[in-house]
Each structure stands twice: as C-alpha cells, then as structure tokens.
Amino acid sequence: MSLPIVAIVGRPNVGKSSLFNWLAGRRISIVDPTAGVTRDRVSTVVEHGGRVWEMMDTGGIGIVDVDDLSADVERQIQLAIESAALVVFMVDVREGVVPLDEDVAARLRTINKPVILVANKADTEKFGQQAGEFCRLGYGEPLCVSADQKLGKDDLFEAIVAKLPPDTGETAPGEAALMIATVGRRNAGKSTFINSLAGAERVIVSEVPGTTRDSVDVRIERDGKSYIAIDTAGVRKTAKMGTNIEFYSTHRAQRSIRRADVVLHFFDARHRVSRVDKQLAEYVVEENKPAIFVVNKWDLVKDSMSTEKMAEYVRAMFPMLDHVPIAFITAKEGKNVLRLLQLAVQLHKQAGLRVSTGDLNRTIRAAIEANHPPMSGSKTPKVFYATQIGVHPPTIVLFTNGPELFDQTYIRYLTKVLRDTFPFSEVAIKIVLRAKGEGMRRGPEDEQVEEIPDTEEETPIVRAPRYTPPPEPVEESEPDQRPRKKPRGSETWDF
C-alpha cells in the first residue's frame, strides 16, 4: 500500500531543504545559501503519532536555473504537487510576503488539496509576531517554525497528522531486498538508468554536466520485491570543484557507496577511464563493496569496438579489480537494464555466502604449500587456523604467528585463491590477520546479514571476460582493432 505524500513547496531559499532534513532527522538534501540547489524530488519516510507518510523536498518555484534547467525543475515540482495528499507551503517570515509567494499561493489554490502554511526562520518572538501578514495569502494563520533553531517541530507534525487522509492502515515500507548506488563521472548516464529502472521520470536527465546534486533514493518494485536505487551526483577532480555544492555532492556520493549493498560504477563508452574513475574504484575497494563496471551508451560505439576489446581495456585500467563483472548497457533505450539489476542481486547473494571452516582451512593449507609466504627477516610467516566470521563482505580471519610478517602481495594471492575456490568469485573478500591467541573480537562489520531468498529462475546476465595478458605477437597476426587514443589531455576515443 502506497504511503500518502507530503510535499514541501515554496519559492527559492525559504528553507525547504533545511526543514526536510530536520523533519527526517538526518542530512539528506543539500543545504546551501545559493538559490536553486535542489532540483530533483528528494523523499524519505517519516513517522509520527501512529501515522506514516512520505515527506518530499522540491526545488524552488520560480527559480531561474544557472544551467537552464528551470523547465526540468518545474516539471519535478508539478509531479510532486500532483502526487501529494498534503502540501506544506513554506514562506520566509523575515522577508515577509513577496510577489513570488503570492504566485505560489495562487497556484496552490487550483489543486484542491489541503495546504499547511508554514512560516520558517521565526527564531524569535519578534518574527513570530510578524507572521500575521501571511494571512492574506488565503491559508489562515501560518504555523511559525525555525528549522535552523529547531523550534516548532511537534506543532508541525501535529498539523500534518491532522490533515492527512484517513488512516487506511499504511505502514512503513519494509527493508529493501537490495540497495544499489550508481556512481561515476558526470554525464555517464546514471540518472537515465534510474529512470529506466523505475519506469518513470523520477530524476532530471540532461546533457548539462552536473545536473544531479543530491543523492536521491528511488524505491522500485520488481517481481514482488522492493529495491532502492541511489542516484548520485557525478564526480570530478577536487581541483575543479567550483562551489560548496559540488563538494557536498561528492561527499554524499561517497556516503551512498557506504550505504549500498552493491555499487554500479558507470562509464561513458565514448570516454577513456580517468583519474577520477580510478579514485572512485579505490574508494569502493576500501569499503569492500561488491561492484559492477557499467559501460553505458554502448549503442554509440558498438560498431567501432567489440565488447571483448572494451573489457580488455577496462581490465587493464583496473588490474586489482579483475573479479568485478562488466556490463554493457544502453540506459536510454532500456537495453540490459533489468539484467544489470539481476546481476546486482546475484552479487549480493555471493557476498552473503558462508563456507565451512574445514573447507576453508584445507584451501588455505593447499595455497600455502603451493606458494610459501616469503621470509620476513629471520622469521617464517605461518598460518595456524582460518575461519569465516562475517558476510557482506565475506570476512576471513587468519590466525598467524604475526600479522606484520605477511606482505600485501601474499594477502592478494590468498584472496585470489579463495575467490577462485569458493562461490564468491565476483565480490570483495576481506582478510583479517590476527596473532594466535588474540581471540575472535567481532566488530560491527562482522555481523551476519541475511541473504535474499532465491525464488527466481536463473537469468542470463551480461558479463565481460576477465583480462588476461595478450599472447606474444606472431608475424601473420591481424592488426589490433582497438581504438587509437587521442593526444594526452583528450578524454574521448579516436575511432
């Protein structure tokens, strides 16, 4: 059963995003003095007084967008108003009634829906006394609040509950079966993918780089299961970040990676892998998240390049991530979009698998016998015992005669052996070294997470072959058909 929607609307810079974050109890929307920061519809579930509803933040009505996206922002606002069961009309008590407030009031009179007039920034009693002038907008006495000073929250909640439609027994949505985050450089097609997956214009899509600013959670229902797809802002070099908004957007993208069960790392097929892509991949590795390299806009290059050549190039750019599957999609046309979701579900299952302690120790023992760890000074590194203590990611503890005796090269070797032996071949594996006698000492990251029940038939997925070094050239070999690189500084391929 869908939840009633409460949409927060008003002109720019009256504090809609601040109020939204305050009511949600956490920072979701970006808050900045710059007008027009919010563009997409940002929503979250709020519960109070036994009622549950979806609170929705919107862009400012009447904003002149610096990137000429005013029409797109306006369309998102209209969709929010049309879907809302209740509208919170926000004004700025400090500035008083301005012509744009009157325009918003006139627009809301045509929708035939309950409206709560909220006067924000009423930090003192003096400003509260000035709120009476807003009565002329036609929505009665305004409710004075201060999102910044956190005043009037309970009164606003009570007013919302009183004007919501009759209770039909709606409850907060259950935990999503899977949470995926889309990350990548600007204009890689992340928002287009989200809209294609949702089957609706849920976020703004534009050729303008940096269109998305907030990280937007979009709940999607497929085959009786609920998924959350997080659309994030495109990332670029720190040195090129021109505003605080870009800085906040980047940090929210990193937070989305931490929240996600599976990360979809998007690439534009027309562009080469950049330093920013490598930095994003390093962050995904640090967080031990299952990931998929998604080569989007494949229809634009498929006649000039094969999937094998592109996969070879990607593998060469990320040699430490040769286990990550590669998917080729065209999000604009919906090609392979659902298969990509199914692949993400399979990776999440892999990350939740456990192996027996006996099999794990036999595998580790065989790996050490086949390739002994190098000496560390006068000491020989030894592994006495291995056990799996957690999932998401699979976490293996090795009890040794000294964690400092093992170098990272040998740990990567053991990781590869585990990945090739056990059924989590395409996800990150976390190996923890402990001295013998330290004990288990489980941390919060070691807690078990339940798997998604496997009730679906196996579905074909889009994977690229893993990278292997090319064979030695022979005299009669065919010329290499890979695209030529442009001079240094160019980001596109020369076909």
User: Which residue, 217, 213, 188, 214, is CA-closest to 202?
Assistant: 217
Whole-number pLDDT of residue 167: 82
pLDDT for the residue 308: 93
Strands 493-494 and 484-485: antiparallel
What is the reported pLDDT for 494? 59
Rounded Cα–Cα distance for residues 266 and 192 (Å): 11
* Pick from 253, 116, 119: nearest CA to 183: 253
What pLDDT is stored for residue 491 in this prediction? 63
Tell me: the pLDDT tens digits for 41-94?
778 888 888 889 988 888 888 766 545 556 767 888 888 888 899 999 999 998
For residue 65, what pLDDT is reported?
A: 54
Amino acid 37: pLDDT? 52
Contacts of 85 (CB under 8 A, 6+ apart): 4, 5, 6, 53, 113, 114, 164, 165
Q: In terms of DSSP H, where are the helices of 260-377?
A: 275-286, 307-317, 337-351, 357-370
> Who's near 219: CB < 8 A, 6+ residues apart?
173, 176, 226, 227, 228
Identify the CA nearest to 209 among candidates 234, 229, 231, 232.
234
| Amino acid 207: pLDDT | 45
Half-sphere exposure of 110 (CA within 13 A, CB side): 7
User: What local confidence, expressed as pLDDT, does residue 493 receive?
Assistant: 59
Q: What pLDDT, on the 0 to 100 scale, is given for residue 345?
A: 94
Structure tokens belonging to residue 201: 């214009």
Beta bridge mates, 384: none
Helix (H, G, I), strand (E, B) or coil at 81: helix
User: What is the β-pairing status of strands 216-222 and 225-231?
Assistant: antiparallel
CA distance 47 to 171: 9
* pLDDT recorded at residue 490: 54
Surface-to-core class of residue 281, CB atoms within 10 Å of its CB (0-12 exposed, 13-18 middle, 19+ buried):
buried
CB atoms within 10 A of CB 58: 29
List, for residues 274-287, the tens digit of each pLDDT value: 888 898 899 899 99
Q: Which segments in the chain show pLDDT lower than 50?
A: 30, 32-36, 66, 204-213, 239-242, 245, 442-462, 464-480
